[in-house]
Amino acid sequence: MADVSAAAKGTVYLVGAGPGDPELLTLKAAALLRSADLVLHDDLVPEAVIAMANGQALVVSVGKRCGVKRVRQSEIHSLMIEAARRQLSVVRLKSGDPLVFGRAAEEMDALRAADVPFQVVPGITAAFAAAAQIGCSLTDRRTASSVELHTGHKAADAGPNVASESVTRVVYMPGRSFRPFAEERLGAGDAPALPCCVISRAAQPDQSMQWSTLGELADVIPGPAPVLLLIGWALADAAARNASGTSGEALRHLEEEPSQAAHEV
């Protein structure tokens, strides 16, 4: 077993909580959570992960819900800085990876300006958790030479307006309507048959998936947040398995029923 660090006093750790399944925390994230004096977490971090914090720790939700911020970004900065100056160890827990589509850049700037030592601990970002659930490689020598991670607000106009079918594209926080994105990609020349998977609450017990094609995507109504959209030819085999009733979701049954699941895979 590796020797795992405990949280140092006077230090802030920007920690990736992963996609939601507590087993997908890193050993380091779990050790820091167990030993930190103060835990500041986003709303998307599930209770099962927060419960891994030290029972003596002060745990504060600093997220926003339905777009309404409970705590301003500047207040998060002040909390982290003041706690570190009081020689507390601080874990700033962010869902997924802290350096992808979060406000980590601003938080690191504030910590640097205040001369507060910090460390970043990467986490499993939702794209890879979703791919594991689907049972589909994001890259495949046969179909996809690269992976792109976008956010919803920028997805439609990210990158040049030309066909890009040798890419697996993952859109974080795609919003409630896929129509603008679908129209943009079709307008750019991507094929209407391009497979799409909309996955709600990936790697959480109430995960759900909706399969479609780029041509049908505009009509898909996503499940509860967080939602992720995956699109690309790399998903073609998984889409076919889904259509024939042998979905990658069958993999979820493995832990309960390993022997019976053999024919579902």
Residue 180 as a binder of a second copy (CB under 8 A): the answer is no
Residue 20 as a binder of a second copy (CB under 8 A): the answer is no
> Among residues 63, 80, 90, 97, which is the contact residue for a second copy, using CB under 8 A?
97
Contact window for a second copy (CB under 8 A) among 39-47, 58-66, 141-149, 177-185: 141-149
> Among residues 148, 183, 184, 216, which is the contact residue for a second copy, using CB under 8 A?
148
> Among residues 50, 60, 158, 225, which is the contact residue for a second copy, using CB under 8 A?
158
64 classed as catalytic: yes
Nearer to a second copy, 62 or 132 (CB): 132
Question: How far, in Å, CA of 209 to CA of 230, rounded?
Answer: 11
Residue 240 as a binder of a second copy (CB under 8 A): the answer is no
Residue 110 as a binder of a second copy (CB under 8 A): the answer is no
By DSSP bridging, strand 38-41 and strand 58-61 are parallel
Closest to 230 (Cα-Cα) out of 174, 176, 186, 180: 174
Residue 47 as a binder of a second copy (CB under 8 A): the answer is no
Residue 136 as a binder of a second copy (CB under 8 A): the answer is yes
109 classed as catalytic: no
Residues 66-95, interacting with a second copy (CB under 8 A): none
Active-site annotation holder among 52, 64, 108, 140: 64
Residue 116 as a binder of a second copy (CB under 8 A): the answer is yes
> Among residues 17, 20, 31, 227, which is the contact residue for a second copy, using CB under 8 A?
31
Q: Tell me the CA end-to-end span of the chain in Å, nearest whole number.
A: 32
Planar angle of CA 137, 148, 193, nearest 5 degrees: 70
Half-sphere exposure of 93 (CA within 13 A, CB side): 37
Q: Is 181 exposed, middle or buried (0-12, 13-18, 19+ CB in 10 A)?
A: buried
> Among residues 137, 177, 204, 213, which is the contact residue for a second copy, using CB under 8 A?
137
Residues 184-223, interacting with a second copy (CB under 8 A): none
Residue 147 as a binder of a second copy (CB under 8 A): the answer is yes
Q: Which residues contact 192 (CB under 8 A, 6 or more apart)?
A: 186, 213, 214, 215
Please give the helix or strand (H or E) that residue 171 lies within, else none: strand 167-172
Q: Are 62 and 79 in contact (CB under 8 A)?
A: yes
Nearer to a second copy, 191 or 254 (CB): 254
CB of residue 6 to a second copy, shortest distance in Å:
10
Active-site annotation holder among 42, 97, 190, 237: 42
> Among residues 149, 194, 229, 239, which is the contact residue for a second copy, using CB under 8 A?
149
Nearer to a second copy, 30 or 191 (CB): 30
Say which DSSP state 227 is in.
E
108 classed as catalytic: no
Q: Which residues contact 117 (CB under 8 A, 6 or more apart)?
A: 8, 10, 11, 12, 84, 111
Q: Are 235 and 195 in contact (CB under 8 A)?
A: yes
Residues involved in catalysis? 42, 64, 173
